[in-house]
Structure 1
């Protein structure tokens, strides 16, 4: 009932993890494999291992989360080697890459090409938590240059993780760029960068890096994520799948994102708060909604959002 397909890759369940929370170590990746998640997505990898930003750098809040992790990860070679360890779960394994330079990304992508147990690559163009490093996908000219270089050497299914956009013209400009390349999918959105959450009793910021500024996730960003999913579904070539990320903690949330056009949904903040059991929970809730509405598959309602009728 929840099956889907991205770039001819079959997922038994359209719900899986977002890159970031609980996907850094082999043990965490194996826990995802043992869960009801339809795929396994790695932490965004850099060329060499990174310790990331100083703690406290992630805090749950009543409306979601704020983080400034700074890409802590074990390095791309670790996630490349993990592919064979995860093959027994018979789920698509997707590696997220977030090099500190274009040269880093090209080197990592080249090394991923020959590993048959890597189903796809998610290229992260949208990390907002690296001091001194702007988000690539807010520079449209640079994004086009990066994708041109990447697809000159890439043969695997590859998608990009995008930051949130807020202006209708920016949706159109980015879609024009993305439509030029043989992308398999776009994941939208990454956290909304440079929010600030304060502990008013202590009179201090919740996190330490960047004087407390960090990426917002969870309920804070659901409406923005829905808008991004909808716009890219409408603007991109139909061959490019949209994967939804942002504020999904229930079957209703997942239903809304699919109604906007998503072919799959990723769970981030809710996974961090509740653990891998969240995939079974959200799957059961989404299945119940679909049964109540008489839908047999997500394709029965995907993208069929209606505009409010006039009063």
Structure 2
């Protein structure tokens, strides 16, 4: 039996469904080159703002036994830096899979400005609009404001004609799944990425009797194993509520092939790895793929489509 991890998304078939999560191993062109030549099926750029941002003061990321806490504050080199990179890569490697390009404005106006730049460019990949950055002091998460989310998407799709996905924070209530899905189903989205980190967690160093990151008095986004049950719930909730032409990208707590299998079983099409990539480096993609293939072999699955979304209820 030959197991294939081939994954079709839009008009392209990727060798496997694995990607980096935006924000991890994608700040510089060197990082992006390493992702492009890694075992990942695709990669996404750092969420870009209009201009370079230094981000929050350090320490702003801390690795903990079951994951991570961070309050990065959207450090990035600005949209021109990443756009020039992806345009050059498109030119050099025309047969390479479409690149994912992430943007995260600090306001509605900036989001629209960033997307207009991409719309007017020769970028042929897929754009991800980050509506869920939880770590910018003084700024609420857009995607927890349902009316504002709808307003942004109405404005975006009045001019944006290229493939677009959105990155969402976790939701914790069935009513919120229902409300957000009803909004998203009104728009021609290519995908929904669930989840970003769980916002405003707190980790304590008992020896120092202190928090472990500097911004926001130690409050930060939680990622890694801690968040997998929440991520799986969001993947499943949106998979069962959204139009089938809107795919689900599963992000959160993928450290092993078993975690990846669970995300796919819940309905995910592509899978993004963040905390484990930060901890292990790009070798994580090779390891997790091998573990996923072993599970599929044991279960007799030759392709992901044989089990994607087929989570049983009892």
CA deviation vs aligned residue, 1:74-94 (integer Å, no higher than 9, x gap)? 001111101134334613211
Determine which of 39, 48, 51 is the counterpart of 1:48: 51
Q: Which residue of 2 aligns with 1:133?
A: 139
Contact 1:233 1:242 in 2 (8 A): yes
Return the alpha-carbon distance in structure 2 between the equivalents of residues 39 and 86 of structure 1.
13
Q: Secondary structure at 2:250's aligned position in 1?
A: strand
| Deviation by residue 1:147-200 (Cα, 9 ceiling, x = unmatched) | 000011111110000000000000000000000000000000000000000110
Following the alignment from structure 2 to structure 1, what is the Cα–Cα distance between the partners of residues 30 and 221? 25
Q: Give 2:181's aligned residue.
A: 175
Please state if 1:201 is matched with 2:207: yes
Q: Are 1:12 and 2:15 matched, yes or no?
A: yes
Q: SS at the partner of 2:101?
A: strand
Q: Distance in 2 between matches of 1:9 and 1:110?
A: 24
Among 14, 30, 34, which residue is 1:31 paired with?
A: 34
* Cα distance, 1:116 vs structure 2: 4.1
Q: Matches of 1:44 and 1:96 in 2, distance apart?
A: 4
Matched pairs, number: 308
Match of 1:110 in 2: 116
2:152 maps to 146
Looking at structure 2, the residues matched to 273 and 115 of structure 1 have their Cα atoms a distance apart, in angstroms, of 35
Report the CA distance between 1:117 and its aligned residue: 4.5
Answer yes or no: is the 8 Å Cα contact 1:21–1:271 preserved in 2: yes
Deviation beyond 6 Å, 4+ runs, structure 1: none
Hey, what does 1:303 align to over in structure 2?
A: 309
C-alpha distance in 1, partners of 2:8/2:42? Answer: 11
Cα drift, residue 115 of structure 1: 4.1
| Distance in 1, Cα, partners of 2:120 & 2:43 | 19
Q: TM-score, normalised by structure 2?
A: 0.96
Gap regions ≥5 residues in structure 1: none
> Given the alignment of the two structures, is residue 255 of structure 1 paired with residue 258 of structure 2, yes or no?
no
Deviations 1:86-107 (Å, cap 9, x if unpaired)? 3346132111000111221112
Decide whether the 8 Å contact of 1:33 with 1:91 is kept in 2: no
Contact preservation (8 Å) 2:59, 2:214: yes
| RMSD of equivalent CA atoms | 1.1
Aligned residue for 1:100, secondary structure, equals: coil
Verify the 8 A CA contact 2:12 2:97 in the aligned structure 1. Answer: no
Q: What residue number does 2:227 align with? A: 221
Shift of residue 291, structure 1, vs aligned partner: 1.5
- Distance in 1, matches of 2:78 and 2:51, equals 5
Deviation at 1:292, TM superposition (A): 1.5
1:283 maps to which residue?
Answer: 289
Q: 1:86 to 1:281 in 2, by over 3 A?
A: farther
TM, length-normalised to structure 1: 0.97
Q: Using a 3 Å threshold, how does the CA distance of structure 1 residues 116 and 293 change in structure 2: closer, same or farther?
A: farther
